[in-house]
Amino acid sequence: MDCFVDSAHSDENAIVVTPVTREGLDDWMSRASGQQGRWVKEHDFEASPARFLTIPDESGRIATVLVATTDPASVFSLGDLPAALPAGSVCRLEGQFDVLTATRFALGWALGSYRFDRYRKNDKEPARLIAPPEANMDRVQAIAESIFLGRDLINTPAEDMGPQELVEAVAEIADPAAAELRVIEGQDLLDQNYPTIHAVGRASHRPPRLADLTWGDPDAPKVTLVGKGVCFDSGGLDLKPAAGMKMMKKDMGGAASAIALASMIMRLKLPVRLRLLIPAVENSVSGNAFRPLDVITTRKGITVEIGNTDAEGRLILCDALAEACSETPDLLIDLATLTGAARVALGPDIPAFFCNDDQLAADIAEHGKGSEDDVWRLPLWPAYRKMIEGEVAEINNAGTGPGAGAITAALFLERFVDDGVSWAHFDIMGWNLSGKPGRPKGGEVMAVRGLFDLIEQRYGKG
């Protein structure tokens, strides 16, 4: 990765980056020169979270960067440095770290060096870090590059990221891993019984698709990921207003997150049989667009009344989930930028998740917390099933409310998941509204690092 320099590299001009905890600052000060100590005091640097301080040497160059960290170390401790330190500079981590800590520091560095430069060159190259010898750099690289791929997919405007391009992104991760990829496109979706995906995507001149990737030992436990790939969501005939439509290039954020997670799993060779299902559509307006109160007979046979054409994500997911259950996976995860209600519930930074298995839910929450990729469980509240009853069909795709829009969306999906399949549904923002260390403003894959840790713990390392 561009943000790292090989650990064999020696550069006596490298800027020394020294992580210190609030508690460890005194110890560092006791060993610092009088001049450095004064500098730290003058700047009131107290190693509070996300702060760093550059310290000059006698010639006025940056000798050391003190950067606040915590114990245990936060992944994002160094996240601001690649962009904040001088362009093109090379940095070296100072201190003794265990593998976990060094790996976290390196991952945070990598995540903070991300720039989306497809349409405009970087004004400034990020600073580079000499790979810390203790860090597991293969892991850092696999995770960071997978996240970069996901961020790129979300950041790319819909004009350049339609259903075809999204499917090509799946091919891009399939090829190096020798995964099998099947793509069903356009009319074939009807012939192969994915009527709901077709109905949502048919109004676009860019035909809908389903990408179906499989990888790994066929006898290994089956882990299936499903990602919502609405490449642009105009709302359909229930057209969104301008404010609601503006960010809708990100409505394939679930697909991007699922692709990123699949990429991590394959690159780090987790001992699972992975399946990735990406329904990729553009929800457009046209003469043949599906309409409010149309009824669609889904792949599973359940009839769905269209209460609102802008509740299209759950529609394309329902065929994919039904197909996912056909081989009874050991673990089924879907990720989707599904509802505004989930944002009202938990804010943009914390994905809501729903789960039909309490132990799995507890594990998901724990791994999310442990990897600083927080998620929060909301209930599949049975009493709200009446909110998705159809008038003339079995169910309706728009909850009647009042409220609980994220829950009713999850209850809709639940209908397409077979009993006995451990399933978790993530309703994510897919976007950082503002930049934070290691998490630049813009497209973001969410819940994925926590899920990778969970899957690794559940099935073992590669």
Partner 1 sequence: MALPGFSETGDGAIPLVLIDRAGLSSWLDDQPTRVATWLRRTGFDAESGTWRAIPAVDGDVAMIVAGRDPEDDLWALAGLPMSLPEGLVVALEAGVPGAEDICLGWACGSYVFDRYRPAKREPAALAWPDDADQARVTAMCEAVALGRDLVNTPAEDMGPLELVAAAQELAEHTSAEVKVCVGESLLTEGYPAVHAVGRASSRAPRLIDFNWGQKDAPRVTLVGKGVCFDTGGLNLKNAAGMERMKKDMGGAACVLAVASMVMQCALPIRLRVLIPAVYNAVDGNALRPMDIVTTRKGLKIEIGDTDAEGRVILADALAAAVEEEPELVIDMATLTGAARVAMGPDLPACFGSDDALAKELCDAGAAKDDPLWPFPLVGAYRGHMASDLADTNTIADWPFADHIQAALFLQQFVGDATPWLHIDTFCWNPSARPGRPKGGDIQGARAVFELLCRRYGEASDD
- The CA angle 310-435-143, to the nearest 5 degrees, is 85
3-state secondary structure 55-89: EECCCCCEEEEEEEECCCCCCCCCCCHHHHCCCCC
Please state the closest distance from residue 344 (CB atom) to partner 1, in A.
5
Instruction: Give 15's contacts (C-beta < 8 A, 6+ positions apart).
Output: 62, 63, 64, 65, 85, 89, 90, 91, 92, 127
Is residue 121 flagged as an active site residue?
no
Q: Output 401 or 420, the one with its CB closest to partner 1.
A: 401
Question: Nearest distance from residue 377's CB to partner 1, in Å?
Answer: 9
User: In terms of CB distance, is 56 or 347 closer to partner 1?
Assistant: 347
Q: What is the DSSP letter of 95?
A: S
Question: Residue for token digits 């159809």?
Answer: 390
- Cα 37 to Cα 46, 111, 336, 344, distances in angstroms: 12, 31, 50, 46
Residue 404 C-beta: closest distance to partner 1, Å: 3
Count Cβ atoms within 10 A of the Cβ of residue 22 and give its class: 0-12 exposed, 13-18 middle, 19 or more buried: middle
Closer residue to partner 1 in complex, CB, 165/374: 374
CB nearer to partner 1: give 291 or 441: 441
Which residue reads 């009202």 in tokens?
A: 344
**Beta bridge mates, 423:** 332
Task: Give the bridge partners for 278, in sequence order.
Answer: 211
Alpha carbon distance 88, 14 (integer Å): 11
State the Cα–Cα distance between residues 444 and 296, nearest whole angstrom: 32
| Minimum CB–partner distance for residue 339 and partner 1 (Å) | 10
Backbone phi, then psi, for 314, in 5-degree steps?
Answer: -65, -25
> Which residue in 362, 366, 364, 346 sits closest to 428, CA to CA?
346
Nearest approach, Cβ of residue 25 and partner 1 (Å): 22
The CB-of-410 to partner 1 minimum distance in angstroms stands at 12
Residue keyed to tokens 């593998």: 99
The CB-of-232 to partner 1 minimum distance in angstroms stands at 23
Choose between 335 and 345: whose C-beta lies nearer to partner 1. 345
Is residue 228 among the annotated active site residues?
A: no
**What does DSSP assign to residue 365?**
H
* DSSP conformation class of 228: -
Distance CA 303, CA 197 (A): 14
Name the site residues for partner 1 (rule: CB under 8 A). 341, 343-350, 374, 376, 378-379, 381, 383-384, 387, 401-407, 433
Tell me which residue of 68, 58, 60 sits closest to 24, measured CA to CA. Answer: 68
Catalytic residue among 202, 206, 314, 415: 314
Pick the catalytic residue from 240, 377, 436, 458.
240
**Active site members:** 240, 314
